[in-house]
Structure 1
Amino acid sequence: MQWFHDWWRIDVIDAGKGPLLLSFVAFVITFVITRSITRMIRAGRGPFHNMSNGGVHLHHSTPGIILLVVGAFTAVGSVGRTPWDYVAAVLVGIGASLVLDEFAMIFHLEDVYWSREGQLSVNVVTLAAACVGLAAVGVSPVDVPGLGDTEQLVRGGVVTALLFHLVLVATTALKGKYPTAVIGFFASPVTWVAAVRLARPTSPWARWFYTPDKKKRAEHRAETFDTRWDPVRSRWDDFIGGTPTS
């Protein structure tokens, strides 16, 4: 367990990432509890039920926004690593989870929670959890361990590498691979592959640079990819968020 002790001391405590890690844990636990409760309500099991006020259904994104705002102002108002930083971290984690769990409803401006469109929330939560989790455990595109202040040549190389990395991330996003671009921002090898492969046929990159023949190749590749992986993604979304009714 020495590796865990070293990781905890260097990458979490010394790096000041205690609040971020706590926020990540609160985010994940809140999402699991929220989805469990909503699925029980949907199935008519347990003591839980929908809440309403004057005939208006109270969505859990409402208290989520309140907690998120309170947590944000608490973080801004706290000084140093005081206990309030950790309070703010918990509030932000819980609030963000409640809001993103209903992201699809906010995006579509209608109640699509249990529809196929509503599974966008599961994708957003999964992506957010992955990125925050990577940052919490010490994965960062700008961390340069052991770099001294006088090592100008090394710093120049690092800056050049980071700029190149950002170009690859932007290229991946322009190719329509938005989740891959976000993950690749933290895990650079992901963008090395995604940036050189064919773009999605509806992406800005395909519209700007692809000839009709190359666009057909992109459409064929996208169709093959979606045929293979869409069922896997759908099963994952159904497992996490519940099978949609439409």
Structure 2
Amino acid sequence: MAPSRLADGRFLPGSLPGRARRRSLTRFSARRDLGSAWAKHIDDQRQERALLSCAAFTGTFALTRAITHAIRDGRGPFGNVETGGRHIHHMTFGIAALLATGYLWMNEVGVGAGHDGPRASRVTSGLYGAGSALTLDEFALWLNLEDDYWSQEGRKSIDAVVVFGGVLTLAALGRGLVRELVGTLASPRWLRASRRARRLAARRPGASMRALVGG
């Protein structure tokens, strides 16, 4: 008996024989599980955009470093990008990606507003993360205006990547927590307690913590 198909052309898993059925069940299960996990932990579009930017940033930076090390060691098919004898640094492509993303967002394309669909929002978020990684990977070069990628000064690029990557990670995973903490610290109750703690600290050292916790 021929396997049954769904309306979109896919085979029904139960109608496939043997090994094909197992592969299909695995594929269906993985897709369902991934979709369920994504929907469970990514509760709004801004968080999704931040997560995609963070993933693109991390992946692009890791891939760029792997390629540059391979070029330096003479391994693999990779080589420097040159035109007319001029070396084109990869931060050039990063700047171009950031300019393109900024232009699209300025014209409200891929901003997650809903009128152009989620795909454009995801693409521009990934483009922003990748462009940021390519640009910051050569942070020391555009800071010092010297090609010091492999020197001690080039470590500044790593520092910049770590800092910016931390910001993206915080935006992707901890935005709700940060928003709650900021709201708490800005609440009238906390501000009154803080003022009371400062007054007590000026008069009685050691009493400020009790004032903050309401003791």
TM-score, normalising length from structure 1? 0.55
**1:11–1:143 distance in 2 versus 1, CA, 3 Å:** farther
2:102 equivalent in structure 1: 72
**1:34–1:128 distance in 2 versus 1, CA, 3 Å:** same
2:179 aligns to what SS in structure 1? coil
Q: Equivalent pairs: percent with the same residue?
A: 37
Look at both structures and tell me which one has the larger radius of gyration over its CA atoms. 2
2:66 equivalent in structure 1: 36
Distance in 1, matches of 2:189 and 2:71, equals 55
- The AA in structure 2 aligned to 1:105 is L
- Please give the root-mean-square deviation of Cα atoms over the aligned residues, in Å: 3.0
1:143 aligns to what SS in structure 2? helix
Report deviation, 1:40.
0.3
Q: Which runs of 5+ in 2 are unaligned?
A: 1-33, 196-215
73-82 vs 117-126, which moves further: 73-82
1:157 equivalent in structure 2: 189
1:46 to 56, 76, 80: 76
1:118 to 123, 141, 154: 154
Q: How does 1:11-160 map to 2 (within 5 A)?
A: 12-14=42-44, 16-76=46-106, 77-78=108-109, 80-81=113-114, 82=117, 83-139=119-175, 142-144=178-180, 155-157=187-189, 160=191
1:177 equivalent in structure 2: none
Q: Deviation above 2 Å: which 4+ runs of structure 1?
A: 4-16, 138-142, 154-158
- The AA in structure 2 aligned to 1:25 is A
C-alpha contact 1:11 1:137 (8 A) present in aligned 2: no
Report deviation, 1:54.
1.2
C-alpha contact 1:22 1:90 (8 A) present in aligned 2: yes
Distance in 2, matches of 1:104 and 1:66, equals 18
**1:87–1:5 distance in 2 versus 1, CA, 3 Å:** closer
C-alpha contact 1:105 1:111 (8 A) present in aligned 2: yes
TM-score, normalising length from structure 2? 0.62
**Corresponding pairs, count:** 152
Report deviation, 1:15.
6.2
2:151 aligns to what SS in structure 1? coil
**1:157–1:54 distance in 2 versus 1, CA, 3 Å:** farther
**1:128–1:19 distance in 2 versus 1, CA, 3 Å:** same
